[in-house]
Amino acid sequence: MIIKTTSTDYGYFDTSISDLGTPYRDQYNSATPFPHIVLPDFLDENILELCLRDFPSAPQSAVGYNRKQENLKFEFKPETLSPALRSLFYSFNSIPFVGFIENLTGIRGLIPDPHFAGAGFHQVSEGGHLDIHADFNFHPMMRLERRINVLIYLNKGWREEYGGCFEIWDTKMTRCSKRIVPAFNTCVVFNTSSTSFHGNPVQVKHPDGQPRRAIALYYYTATWDDTRRAHNTRFKVRPDSADESDFRVRLNEVVEAVMPPLALRGLRKLARAAARTYRSPVT
């Protein structure tokens, strides 16, 4: 195993784990089409057994998605989980674990997200999928740039034919560069950008109807400035597939491309104000 845990009474990770990322840095940064790494046997298995034991049932306390691009996908926020699992997620935001990710990637000044926006436990149920996409690049509440994704899989005995494999695609969306089986205790870390295309587009089809489960963690840096353009998740269509474009996102991209940033921010403020007015009760 790569990271050994300590007593959960005082956080899950010892301060010494920060240095464990350094030996993998060259492998990480030399990976194509963007920096990434696959780390098997990542954590103590007893920690992941705890995750499976206390994993909530969908859709209880979950954010769910049901559309062409992402279907039967659920997110569980850490605050909805058991005390032991909340402590685990808080430990993923601690200096030792963030230090491990910094030394692995070479990116200094990483900032964890106390709000766990889009993060937490993820589940894709039988028949579900998540199309290839680039993630949102801006945390609006903290005004930070998204830089790193960490995924830790919780699926015992998972095989490629069960679907749900994690795919990394080249920046021109011409081919799948790597396909990773989401096997138990496998960790995937990768840089996030507007062209780091990834997803699990093949439907989950476990013979026993088991869902695909994972821990999802995101890390940021204070490198955002007003010359940048924020975007939401950008879905992409695989060649010769039945994937469908997200026309709402494409429309937003066209608007962003033609409008100056200052005018775009003003338009969004007007839209938010109009939405608040619309929601206000009639007196």
Number of domain units in the chain: 1
Q: What is the CATH number of the domain that holds 170?
A: 2.60.120.620
| 261 within a domain of the structure (yes/no) | no
The percent of residues in the chain predicted with pLDDT above 90, rounded, is: 76
| 196 within a domain of the structure (yes/no) | yes
Do residues 13 and 88 touch, judged by C-beta distance below 8 A? no
The pair of structure tokens assigned to 217 is 């963690």
In this prediction the pTM is 0.87
Confidence of residue 275 (pLDDT cuts 50, 70, 90): very low
- pLDDT tens-digit map of 164-179: 999 999 999 999 999 9
By C-alpha distance, which of 273, 123, 274 is closest to 210? 123
| 272 within a domain of the structure (yes/no) | no
pLDDT of residue 257: 56
Res 242 pLDDT > 70:
yes
- pLDDT tens-digit map of 23-51: 999 999 999 999 999 999 999 999 999 99
| 9 within a domain of the structure (yes/no) | no
Domain that holds residue 151: 15-245
Considering only the C-alpha atoms of the chain, give the largest distance between any 2 of them, rounded to a whole number of Å: 64
Res 20 pLDDT > 60:
yes
| 96 within a domain of the structure (yes/no) | yes
Lowest mean pLDDT among 20-29, 71-80, 213-222: 71-80
Q: What is the mean pLDDT of the chain?
A: 89
The alpha carbon dihedral of 139, 143, 148, 154 has a sign of: negative
Confidence of residue 147 (pLDDT cuts 50, 70, 90): very high
The pair of structure tokens assigned to 53 is 């034991």
- pLDDT tens-digit map of 99-131: 999 999 999 999 999 999 999 999 999 999 999
